[in-house]
Chain A
C-alpha cells in the first residue's frame, strides 16, 4: 500500500482533527441518548434500571454508564411483549407507516431493523462517505449486490443516487447458484467499483472460469473491489488481487445494527464511519476500554437519531481498535473485526479465532494463502489443531508438511494438516469450525 496516500475528504467532517471529531461525537451521542430516553421505552427502562441520568451525559466517557445491549435483550423484549411489532418499535425512533424493515438473522434468532425515510437519508449520506473512502465515484454503474431483506439493500439506492450511478439490479438472490447472473452483469456493464460478500467473489470466479473467462477478464476495468461479510487477512487481500488483478481490494465491515467501518488505502484497519456510529472496544470481563491493539468486544452506538437505534450495542464481534493517527488523514479511529466470540476456541495455551489460524497459515506458508480450510471439532476436543485443506495444486501440495511443523511451533500444540479432495468455496476466507462429518457432507 502507498505509504503517503491520503484519503480525499468526502466533506468537512473528514477534515476534523481527532479531538474535534470526539467533540462532534459527544454532541451527536448526547442527542441520541436524550432521544432514547424521551421516546424509546426500551432504553428508558434500561436507563432507569441502571440508574443512568441522560441529562448528565457530558463526555464520551459518560457512555460507559449506559448499559450494554445485546441481541438477546432485543429478543427478550419482543418475546415478552403482547404485541411483538410494538416491541420492535420500542427501540425505533419515530417509526412511521412508510418504513421498510430489514432482518438481522443469526444463530440466536432474528431481529427486525426499522428504516424510516429519515434514517435512509442520513444513513445513505453516511454510507456514501464510506463508499467514497473505498473509491466509489460518479458515473460507474453500481451493481446492486444486497438482497432486499438485508439492511445494506436499504442503503444502496441512496448511495447510487448520491453519486448518480446507474443501478444494475441482478435477478435472484445472493447465493452461489446465482453467481452466473452476477458474471453476466459484470460483463455487460463493466463496473469500475464492485461491492461483494467475500464468498460470492470465489463463486463468480469459479463460474467465469467454467465459461473460459479468467479472473482478470471478468474484473477488467474494476478499480476497486470491496469485500464485506468476513474479515479479510492481508494474505486474502493479496490473494484476491492476484485472482482478479484489481488494484485495490478494500474491506467494509458493517452490521444491520448500524456498525460501519471501511479501510483506507493503507489497509491497516478500518476507519469508523463517524456519522454512522461511535465504536468502543472493551475488555470482556472488566468492561473497560482495551489498549490499542488488544482484543476485546466491539460495542457501538449509532449516532443516527432515526429508525431502530442501537446504543452501546454488543453485536458479538471480537476486534481491535487503533486510535493512532492514520497517514491517510482521516480522523476516525481504525478497528478490525476478527470474528465472532461464539467462534472463539481454546487450544493449548491459546485462545484463538478462525481468523488467527488463517493468518498464521498464510504467514508461515504464504503459498497456501487463500486456500479453503476447515478447523475440525474433533481436533480441538483432542487439544490439537486439525485442519482440513482443499487439496492444493502443483507444488503447493508439498507444503502441507511445512504448514504442520510451522503452525505447531507457532501455537505450541500438535497440528495435523490433511488435504481433502473438495471443500466448498464458502470455506475460503474464514475457516469454519466443523466436525469432520459436517465437512465431508458440505463438500
Chain B
C-alpha cells in the first residue's frame, strides 16, 4: 500500500492530506473537480509527475474532463487476479468459455486475457483455463451476442447493465434459451452496481443465476456478489473502512502507480467476515 509520503508526491492526495496523515475520503466528484482545475494532467493529480505508466485507461464514468487511471504490469496482473477470484467464487471449469457483451475497454474484458491488453502477463480467463470472446458492447449487436451464445456455447456471460434489455429481447426473438446452458450471468455497471431487484427479475426472465458486480474503475474496484450471503465480497486486494457518514471507503493495496486510497463508494454496510463461503472476507452491502 502506498505510504503517506508516497501519496504526498501525488498532487491530488497532497491537497487532501489530513492531520492524521491520511487523505480525506474522496469520490468521482472530487476527482472531477480536481481535474477541472488542471486539464493538462490526464491523471488528475494521482500519478507522480514525470512517470510514464505502461497502461493508461480512460474512465468511462467521467467525460468532461476526461480522466485516466494508470497501471504498471505487476499491478495489471494483481487486478486480473481479483477478477479471477470473483469468477472462481461463482464457479468455472477449465475448458469452458466466457463471453462478454461490453466494451472492450471495460476492465472486466481487458483483464480477461493478455490478448486484450498489453503488459498483462496472464488474464483471468487464462488463469482459469477459459476461452474468452467479446462482442461489441452496443445494443445493435444484441443479435450477434445471441449468435455467440448459440455457436460458441459459453458457460458464463458478463453483460453490461444497459444491454440486458436488448439482449433478453434478442434471445426471446430468436428462441435461444440460456437455461441449462449457461452457468451464470454477471451484470456490470460503469460505476456502482445494478440493484438486487433488477438482477432477480433478470434471473427469472433468463432462467439462470444472475450476479451483480460492484465496480468503480477510478479505484480499481471490482467485487462480485456472493451467491450465499448476497453481499459483495471484497478481494484481499482491497481494504475497506466504515466512515462516520455511513459511507464505506476502499483502499486498493496493489495500486501504486495511481494510488486509490480511501475511495468513497457511498452509503454501504461493511461487515468484516462472517460468510461461510469466505469466512474472512470483508463484505459490503449497498
Contacts and interface: CB of A to CB of B under 8 A. Distances in A.
B189 interface: no
Contacts of A160: 118-119
Interface string B60-74: 100101101000000
Q: Which of A148, A153, A169 has the most CB of B within 10 A?
A: A148
A173 B152 contact: no
B105 A170 contact: yes
A181 B58 contact: yes
Nearest to A161: B118
Interface in B92-132: 94-97, 100, 103-105, 109-110, 112-120, 125-126, 129-132
Interface in A126-180: 141-142, 144, 146-149, 153-154, 156-158, 160-161, 165-173, 175, 180
Interface stretch (B21-29, B143-151, B167-175, B195-203): B143-151
Contacts of B151: 78, 84-85, 88, 112
Given A88-B152, A169-B110, A175-B138, A157 B56 contact: no
Nearest to B135: A149
A159 to B, nearest CB: 8
Contact of B115 (A110, A120, A172): A120
B133 interface: yes
B159 to A, nearest CB: 14
A115 B103 contact: no
A221 to B, nearest CB: 15
Given A103-B148, A120-B114, 8 more contacts: A98-B129, A101-B97, A115-B115, A148-B110, A149-B134, A153-B116, A157-B120, A161-B119
Interface residues of A, number: 48
Contacts, number: 151
A101 B152 contact: yes
A169 B152 contact: no
A105 B145 CA distance: 12
B134 A157 contact: no
A313 B147 CA distance: 23
14 contacts: A97-B96, A98-B126, A98-B130, A100-B133, A112-B151, A144-B105, A148-B134, A156-B118, A157-B120, A167-B54, A168-B68, A184-B66, A188-B68, A189-B42
Contacts of A146: 104
B131 A101 contact: yes
A185 interface: yes
Interface size class of B (residues with CB under 8 A): 35 or more
A415 B126 CA distance: 58
A167 B68 CA distance: 12
Interface in A176-199: 180-181, 184-185, 188-189
A-B CB proximity, top 3 nearest: A148-B104, A184-B66, A160-B118
B117 A169 contact: yes
B182 interface: no
A98 B131 CA distance: 5
Nearest to B127: A98
B84 to A, nearest CB: 13
A85 B138 CA distance: 24
A84 B152 contact: yes
Interface in A377-424: none
Looking at chain B's contact residues, the main secondary structure is loop
B57 interface: yes
A100 B153 contact: no
Given A98-B126, A103-B144, A160-B119, A171 B134 contact: no
Contacts of A120: 114-115
A173 B132 CA distance: 18
A157 B186 CA distance: 26
| Dominant SS among interface residues on chain A | mixed
A363 B225 CA distance: 62
A138 B60 CA distance: 28
A88 B42 CA distance: 42
B149 to A, nearest CB: 11
B115 A154 contact: yes
A99 interface: yes
Most buried by B among A84, A146, A156, A184: A184
A171 B100 contact: no
B153 to A, nearest CB: 5
Interface in B214-265: none
Contacts of B118: 142, 144, 156-158, 160-161, 165, 167
A147 B58 contact: no
Interface string A93-126: 0000111111101000010100101001000000
A142 to B, nearest CB: 8
Contact of B105 (A98, A169, A189): A169
Nearest to B99: A101
Contact of B57 (A78, A147, A161, A169): A169
Contacts of A100: 112-113, 115-116, 125, 131-134
A173 B137 contact: yes
A97 B130 contact: yes
Among B66, B112, B144, the one with the most A-chain Cβ atoms within 10 Å of its Cβ is B66
Contacts of A172: 60, 103, 105
Nearest to B57: A169
A83 B117 CA distance: 30
Contacts of B272: none
A193 to B, nearest CB: 15
A173 B95 contact: no
B281 interface: no
Scoring B57, B58, B97, B129 by chain A CB atoms within 10 A of each residue's CB, the highest score goes to B58
Contact of B136 (A78, A83, A147, A185): A147
A189 B56 contact: yes
A157 B109 CA distance: 14
A18 B94 CA distance: 46
